[in-house]
A and B are shown apart, each in its own frame.
Chain A
Amino acid sequence: MADPMKIRATLVGDSTEVRVLMSHEMETGQRKDAAGKTVPAWFIQSVTATHNGKTVLSAQWGPAVAKNPFLSFKFKGGAKGDKVQITWTDNRGEKRTDEATIG
């Protein structure tokens, strides 16, 4: 299973700033291994963020995003102690969800 994400959520004025690090190879499908065989594409395809169960961000990604991606975004609202949940799904159907508390 994929390693956990590292999520930080902080209240800045009237919005919440979220910073997420994801552990993922993000293979483009263009690279060849030492034996000359193409390394199959393997990348995060969709990312969603929810705040108290309500979706605040939904993104579709492709193979051009770097390995171990860093995502930073803001949404209006949020209060200290609220939960922010992030889910990614990759093109192999693997999924990972992690949660952070707004501080």
Chain B
Amino acid sequence: MITMLRAALAATAVALGGMLASPATYAQAGSAADEIEKYRQALQDGNPAELWEARGEDLWKKPGGPKNASLERCDLGRGPGVVKGAYAELPKFFADAGRVMDLETRLVWCRVNLQGMTEADARRSPFGSPERKSDNEALTAWITSESKGVAMAVSLDHPKMREAYDVGRAIFFFRGGPHDFACSTCHSEDGKRIRLQDLPNLTVKSGAQRGYTTWPAYRVSQGELRTFQWRLNDCFRQQRFPEIEFGSPASIALTTFLAYNANGAPFAAPAIKR
């Protein structure tokens, strides 16, 4: 399987410019990684994610939707209107909705139930582009920023949370698609990378912590702030799986699996990535 993965990685690299085309290049991963790290450090100063945070705070407080209501009474799990630290405890089972929700699904729920939007409107364009900015990305940026430094504390006490975790774990290791890939194909070994991107080992605590607590992130290469739902969407694409539906039970299950595995680590996003 390793050989197959290498071959697949090399093929991707050749297609995209040949940065990982030979084993010799691969052997230099250490020094390249150091240089990439310097680049990342240089980016830390002045993260444009703050522009999304500012817009998100505004969107949260401003009346909107058919009911002309603000989202300030939205219950993110710590009571209506409590934003501080809320993200570090999500996903969570919400009794009013009768299901487990991550932040982005909960925002859809609040926009429907508090602001009177239709489900379809509240779900429309969750991932923005220069032509169409996404309210979801802005709101998520601000709400997650209010958990910066708070230790991840997702609870599996509710049986539905336990179920979501188990389903998420099963999906993580489920192999399929044209390449017979699972998430674990790319994310269960230390020290791997594709092109210049380190592949975190999401099956160990330190890897899950780093991989989860640094999303949402401003993607320099896209000039956009991306959320965890976007991250999953893009990894499904890399895995050559059918597109995962925004806020679907599968996406929430995977998020629960990864968020719980990150427990204990201080939340560190919105971050900035290449």
Q: Is the CB of B48 within 8 A of A68?
A: yes
Whether a CB of chain A sits under 8 angstroms from the CB of B50 is: yes
- B47 contacts across to A, CB distance below 8 A: 21
- B18 contacts across to A, CB distance below 8 A: none
Whether a CB of chain A sits under 8 angstroms from the CB of B223 is: yes
Closest chain-A Cβ to B33's Cβ sits at a distance in Å of: 23
A3-B223 CB under 8 A given contacts A21-B46, A70-B48: no
- B8 contacts across to A, CB distance below 8 A: none
Q: Is the CB of A21 within 8 A of B50?
A: yes
Tell me, in angstroms, the Cα distance from A4 to B130 when the chains sit together: 16
A6-B223 CB under 8 A given contacts A25-B130, A70-B46, A72-B45: no
Main SS class of interface, B: loop
Whether a CB of chain A sits under 8 angstroms from the CB of B54 is: yes
Q: Among A3, A66, A67, point to the contact of B54 (Cβ < 8 A).
A: A3
Binary B-proximity of A19-47 (CB < 8 A = 1, otherwise 0): 10101010000000000000000000000
Q: Is the CB of B46 within 8 A of A4?
A: no
Tell me, in angstroms, the Cα distance from A70 to B223 when the chains sit together: 12
Q: Which of A1-16 contact B (CB under 8 A)?
A: 3-4, 6
- A19 contacts across to B, CB distance below 8 A: 45-46
Binary A-proximity of B22-58 (CB < 8 A = 1, otherwise 0): 0000000000000000000000011110110011000
Binary A-proximity of B211-252 (CB < 8 A = 1, otherwise 0): 000000010100100000000000000000000000000000
Closest to B51 in A: A23
Binary B-proximity of A43-71 (CB < 8 A = 1, otherwise 0): 00000000000000000000000111010
A21-B51 CB under 8 A given contacts A67-B223, A68-B223: yes
Q: Which of B104-118 contact A (CB under 8 A)?
A: none
- A70 contacts across to B, CB distance below 8 A: 45-46, 48
- A25 contacts across to B, CB distance below 8 A: 130, 223
Tell me, in angstroms, the Cα distance from A68 to B223 when the chains sit together: 7
Closest to B220 in A: A66
The 8 sampled A-B contact pairs (Cβ below 8 Å) are: A3-B51, A4-B54, A21-B47, A21-B51, A23-B48, A66-B223, A68-B223, A72-B45
Known contacts A4-B54, A23-B51, then 11 further A-B pairs from the complex at CB < 8 Å, ordered by chain A residue: A3-B55, A6-B51, A19-B46, A21-B46, A21-B50, A23-B48, A25-B223, A66-B223, A68-B48, A68-B218, A72-B46
Contact residues of A with B, CB < 8 Å?
3-4, 6, 19, 21, 23, 25, 66-68, 70, 72
